[in-house]
Amino acid sequence: MAIPSSLVTLLLGMALVLVGFWVGQNVNLLPLDASSNAPVYDDLFRVLFVIGTILFIGIVGLVLFSLVRFRRRDGDESDGLPIEGNLPLEIVWTAIPAIVVLFVGIYSYDIYERMGGMAPLNDHSAHMAHQAQAMAVQQASAGGQGDGDQPRVWGGIGPVDPGEAVLPVEVTAMQFAFLFHYPGSNIISGELHVPSDRPVELRMEAKDVIHAFWVPQFRLKQDVIPGQTTVLTFTPTRPGSYPIVCAELCGPYHGGMRSTVVVHEPDEFEAWVQRNAPAPPPPATVASAPTAPVA
């Protein structure tokens, strides 16, 4: 007696799902994870990889099976079956991708929310706590803008928890370099130095053309745009040196527009600030102290 085809299909489907999960568990295609959202990203990648593997192997398997099993034998001039459609079947394979896509969409929304992607960028009350200090320093050093005409932030990833002690850094991108200015200690550096396990907020603006700030090990990227401030918040977790890559075509030396982000242990970072701050060094803890809750 032949095995019923529905049983064979079921077993094949189960095997396919198992293979998909096995591949997903063992896939290792991403660089080191060095920020708090990198492991979250890697989870999303794994889920997408499992779904993709199941779909891809399934469809390629069907194509290959059909090409072998249903190939036309020599001398066979007959036609296949006159099947023009099958509505229940078509409803099933409309519903399955719709559900999968909905699931992926909701899941990735959740991850995006956890990364801070949905944080309102221009909500003053959410930003004030650490903004006020950055602004105060700016005003003191440059006699710049008051609170009223704070530049509008156009895009990026905002802070997950605005109450935390955020390290603000102002990033200026130009052909073909990044400049990092620490408002707290007034350091200007060509490399980004940050302490581990403390949120960093980059406020970025370009001088000439569009650039993009990308650290593959942080799984984060944000365009740096002339005339419009963008913001990028992240929390480095793993001390080390990682490349900063410009990811938006910006001219002939675009490929050479790279820098380094150095993630220090917190005390090491304090030492770096002390070493590099222009005299007189303001207390480096000013920017980090979560004081001054405004309004």
Partner 1 sequence: MTVATPGSFEGPGLQPQGWLRYFSFSLDHKVIGLQYLVTGFLFYFLGGALAGVIRTELASPISDFVSRNTYNEVLTLHGTVMIFLWIVPVVNGAFGNYLIPFYVGARDMAFPRLNAVAFWLIPPAGLLLISSYFLAGGAAQSGWTAYPPLSLTTPALGQVIWILSVLLLGGSSIFGAINFIATILKLRRPGLKLMQLPMYCWAMLGTSILAVLSTPVLAGTLVLLSFDIIAHTGFFNPALGGNVVVYQHLFWFYSHPAVYIMVLPAFGLVSEILPVHARKPLFGYTTMVYSIMGIVVLGLIVWAHHMFTSGTPPWMRLFFTIATSFIAVPTGIKFFNWLATLWGGKLALNSAMLFSCAFIVNFVFGGITGVALAQVPFDIHVHDTYFVVGHFHYIVYGGTVFVIFASVYHWYPKFTGRMLNESLGRLHFLLTFIGFNLCFAPQHWLGLNGMPRRVAEYDPSFTTLNQVSSVGALLMALSTLPFLINVIMSAFNGKIAGDNPWKALTPEWLTSSPPPVENWTGPAPLVQHPYGYGEAVAALDLRSASGEQIWSGNQR
Q: Which of residues 210-269 bind partner 1 (CB under 8 A)?
A: 210, 212, 214, 216, 219-223, 225-228, 230, 243, 245-256
Shortest spacing between CB 121 and partner 1, in angstroms? 7
Question: Distance between CA 277 and CA 284 in Å, rounded?
Answer: 9
**Binding-residue total with partner 1 (CB under 8 A):** 88
Q: 181 or 254: whose CB is closer to partner 1? A: 254
Answer yes or no whether residue 290 interacts with partner 1 by CB under 8 A. Answer: no
Rule CB under 8 A: which of 89-148 touch partner 1? 89-90, 93-94, 97-98, 101-102, 104-105, 108-109, 111-112, 115, 117-121
Rule CB under 8 A: which of 1-40 touch partner 1? 5-6, 29-31, 37, 40
Question: Distance between CA 79 and CA 285 in Å, rounded?
Answer: 80
Answer for the pair 36, 220: CB distance below 8 angstroms, yes or no. Answer: no
Answer for the pair 156, 232: CB distance below 8 angstroms, yes or no. Answer: yes
Shortest spacing between CB 260 and partner 1, in angstroms? 12
How many of the other CB atoms lie within 10 Å of CB of 122?
Answer: 13
Q: 53 or 133: whose CB is closer to partner 1? A: 53
Residue 16: Cβ-neighbour burial (10 angstroms; 0-12, 13-18, 19+): middle
Answer for the pair 125, 295: CB distance below 8 angstroms, yes or no. Answer: yes
Q: What letter represents residue 157's amino acid?
A: I
Shortest spacing between CB 295 and partner 1, in angstroms? 23
List phi, psi (to 5°) of 215. Answer: -120, 105
Between β-strands 200-206 and 229-234, what pairing exists: parallel, antiparallel or unpaired?
antiparallel
Q: 119 or 187: whose CB is closer to partner 1? A: 119
Shortest spacing between CB 115 and partner 1, in angstroms? 6
Shortest spacing between CB 39 and partner 1, in angstroms? 12
Residues 192-211, mask of contacts with partner 1 (x by CB under 8 A): ----------------xxx-
Say how many residues make up the chain. Answer: 295
